[in-house]
């Protein structure tokens, strides 16, 4: 798990530029599934065939980033955000482009730090002129945090735990899963961070009977946490009740809870007030697809120092395997919404 997570974390893959990360995941999963394919937008599908219930499990593979908007005469680059990037967290960081070009994030003189915004900031790749800068970086190139993944006991610290932690859980669950009746589509989705875009098109394409997303959720166990959450690192995966994008199907949520009890898997319940995940798009696909979410608790989401607990990820793998190998008989799970 640690080795895989490190590779996934350190690989470049901002929204809309998921090719490198898709290649890595393909290599990790290909030998364990019946088929791997991509679609025109870049979603990556890994299929385990079966005659039973058709299940889509989504883990978004994109990460947040910044995009070059303008190259100045002296070679400094102006930029905008791709997904939820905070100027305060970005300031002073190193960022890296797909071609390996590294930049420092600087800022103009500011009387009031509260006025810090992207238009007061720039990237410095060490170029002395616009021409020199343009030889390495073009308008529209996207950079991500430049950060190694490190471990401290059971904790992993690095960039893009949102959602490479989810990708690692899904890859490992698929690798370890014995043959079942269920027809399982593991989908590594694109562009979640800019509005659940890949999950919208991939769920339409697959038209599954059940949907599940694996993603991180903010933990509320730090001093004066920015979000009040009853979710803790190291207490197991969180089963989502709701966020701003989805109210998880109650029957599916209860089934996940039952499975944790049966298998003795530690778990927590999650209510996230803001933010969303791929299940937000999946459950609204076509006539509606009952969907749930397994969340990995994560501190400092959308910073280069995102922290997850490896044991939570291992327990998420156990829960996911248990769910995917369960006889997911639709008539039994959903006899009638009124009963
Ligand atoms: Zn995410
Ligand atoms: Co995110």
Report phi then psi at 215, rounded to 5: -155, 170
Could you tell me what percent of the chain has a pLDDT over 90? 95
Question: What is the whole-number distance in angstroms between the Cα of residue 249 and the centre of ligand 1?
Answer: 20
Give the model confidence (pLDDT) of 229-238 as tens digits. 999 999 999 9
Give the model confidence (pLDDT) of 164-218 as tens digits. 999 999 999 999 999 999 999 999 999 999 999 999 999 999 999 999 999 999 9
Structure confidence at residue 329 (pLDDT): 87
Query: What's the whole-model pTM score?
Result: 0.97
Q: Which one of the ligands is nearest to 278 CA?
A: 1
Question: What is the whole-number distance in angstroms between the Cα of residue 167 and the centre of ligand 2?
Answer: 13
Structure confidence at residue 337 (pLDDT): 67
In whole angstroms, give the CA distance from residue 213 to residue 203: 11
Structure confidence at residue 333 (pLDDT): 84
Question: What is the whole-number distance in angstroms between the Cα of residue 172 and the centre of ligand 1?
Answer: 18
The confidence band for 32, taking pLDDT boundaries of 50, 70 and 90, is very high
Question: What is the whole-number distance in angstroms between the Cα of residue 277 and the centre of ligand 1?
Answer: 6
Choose among 76, 75, 34: nearest CA to 184: 34
Given the residues 192, 193, 270, 306, select the one marked as catalytic. 192
Inform me whether the pLDDT recorded for 263 exceeds 70. yes
The confidence band for 159, taking pLDDT boundaries of 50, 70 and 90, is very high
Structure confidence at residue 47 (pLDDT): 98
Q: Is residue 192 annotated as a catalytic residue, yes or no?
A: yes
Please return the burial class of 116, using the count of CB atoms within 10 Å of its CB with bins 0-12, 13-18 and 19+: middle
Question: What is the whole-number distance in angstroms between the Cα of residue 216 and the centre of ligand 1?
Answer: 6
Rounded to an integer, the average pLDDT of 110-116 is 94
The confidence band for 305, taking pLDDT boundaries of 50, 70 and 90, is very high
In whole angstroms, give the CA distance from residue 161 to residue 151: 13
What rounded mean pLDDT belongs to the chain?
A: 97
Inform me whether the pLDDT recorded for 129 exceeds 70. yes
The confidence band for 24, taking pLDDT boundaries of 50, 70 and 90, is very high
Structure confidence at residue 338 (pLDDT): 67
Contact 189, 269 (CB under 8 A): no
Question: What is the whole-number distance in angstroms between the Cα of residue 194 and the centre of ligand 2?
Answer: 9
Q: Which one of the ligands is nearest to 301 CA?
A: 2
Structure confidence at residue 284 (pLDDT): 98
Q: At what angle do helices 161-176 and 310-324 cross, to 10 degrees?
A: 50
Inform me whether the pLDDT recorded for 74 exceeds 70. yes
CATH numbers and ranges of domains, the chain: 2-63+159-338 (3.40.630.10), 65-145 (2.40.30.40)
Q: Which one of the ligands is nearest to 165 CA?
A: 1
Inform me whether the pLDDT recorded for 145 exceeds 70. yes
Inform me whether the pLDDT recorded for 336 exceeds 90. no
In whole angstroms, give the CA distance from residue 119 to residue 91: 12
Q: Which one of the ligands is nearest to 302 CA?
A: 2
């Amino acid at each position: 798990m640690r080795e895989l997570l490190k590779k996934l974390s350190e690989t470049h893959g901002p929204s809309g530029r998921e090719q490198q990360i898709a290649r890595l995941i393909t290599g990790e999963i290909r030998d364990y599934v019946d088929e791997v394919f991509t679609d025109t937008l870049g979603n990556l599908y890994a299929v385990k065939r079966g005659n039973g219930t058709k299940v889509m499990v989504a883990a978004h593979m994109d990460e947040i980033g910044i995009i070059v908007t303008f190259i100045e005469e002296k070679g400094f680059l102006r930029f905008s955000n791709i997904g939820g990037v905070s100027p305060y967290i970005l300031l002073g960081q190193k960022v890296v482009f797909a071609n390996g070009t590294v930049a420092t994030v600087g800022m103009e003189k500011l009387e009031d730090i509260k006025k810090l915004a992207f238009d007061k900031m720039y990237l410095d790749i060490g170029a002395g002129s616009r021409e020199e800068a343009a030889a390495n970086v073009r308008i529209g190139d996207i950079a991500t945090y430049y950060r190694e993944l490190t471990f401290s006991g059971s904790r992993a610290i690095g960039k893009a735990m949102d959602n490479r932690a989810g990708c690692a859980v899904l890859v490992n669950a698929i690798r370890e899963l014995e043959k079942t009746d269920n027809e399982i589509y593991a989908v590594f989705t694109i562009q979640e961070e800019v509005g659940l875009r890949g999950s919208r098109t991939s769920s339409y394409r697959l038209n599954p009977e059940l949907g599940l997303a694996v993603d991180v959720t903010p933990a509320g166990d730090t001093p004066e946490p920015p979000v009040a959450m009853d979710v803790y690192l190291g207490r197991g995966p969180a089963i989502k009740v709701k966020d701003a994008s989805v109210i998880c199907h109650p029957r599916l949520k209860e089934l996940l809870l039952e499975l944790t009890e049966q298998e003795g898997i530690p778990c927590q319940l999650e209510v996230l007030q803001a933010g969303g995940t791929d299940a937000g798009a999946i459950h609204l696909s076509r006539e509606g697809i009952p969907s749930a979410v397994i969340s990995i608790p994560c501190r400092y989401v959308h910073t280069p120092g995102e922290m997850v607990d490896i044991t939570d990820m291992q327990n998420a793998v156990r829960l996911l395997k248990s769910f995917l190998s369960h006889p997911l008989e639709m008539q039994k799970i959903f006899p009638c919404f009124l009963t």
